[in-house]
Amino acid sequence: MKRKSKEERQKELLEMLEKDSFYTDEELSSYFNVSIQTIRLDRLQLGIPELRERIKNLAENNIDKVKSMKGKEIIGELITLEVGNLGISILETTNDMTYSKTSIVKGHYVFAQAESLAMAVIDAPVVLMGVANIKNMDPVKPNDRLIAKAEVVKVRDKKHYVHVRINNKNHVQVFRGKFIFDEIS
């Protein structure tokens, strides 16, 4: 494949990151067939901060929208939030989170990301989680990036039904959860 010129590459890189902020430098380097250093220089010239910084910036814009809990109590970084509708959060998994025998991330970290995001999207001041039905579809490894998406599917009789889906950074679904929260007053 012929390499793109620097101008072409930077233009496309900017467009890609506007559509999806979550490309890593590694992914971009392999996509454009250039070194990671080149991508870093591109970002520097274009004034685009590194991925971790981009995630943090997005999270800071969303955390004050949360109604049902304190925003900082969410496990993971809150990327998108439309209260009463949907939310997206990102959790970076680490070696500390794994079972030592399997090197697989403990289920309750994934559960905590899902449950706290599900709670964050609810349009009510105080809720309690009543029922959850969850499924782990694929083992979660450390040093992965879990992208959770929560959607409010129904609200009836002060019960909020929320579905959560979590994909890993390779776009493989690792978790799905169906939650019912009860409003309390």
Interaction site with a second copy (CB under 8 A): 68-70, 73, 75, 99-102, 104, 106-108, 111-112, 115-116, 125-126, 128-136, 139, 184
145, two tokens: 């990036």
Give the three-class secondary structure for 158: coil
- The strand pairing partners of 164, in sequence order, are 150, 177
Cα–Cα distance between 145 and 91 in angstroms, integer?
A: 6
102 or 170, CB closer to a second copy? 102
CB of 121 to a second copy, least distance (A): 15
27 or 182, CB closer to a second copy? 182
CB of 147 to a second copy, least distance (A): 19
32 or 175, CB closer to a second copy? 175
Give the three-class secondary structure for 174: strand
CB of 120 to a second copy, least distance (A): 11
CB of 118 to a second copy, least distance (A): 10
Q: Quickly count helices (H) and strands (E) in the chain.
A: 5, 8
Inter-residue contact 66 to 101 (CB < 8 Å): no
Cα–Cα distance between 44 and 62 in angstroms, integer?
A: 25
46 or 128, CB closer to a second copy? 128
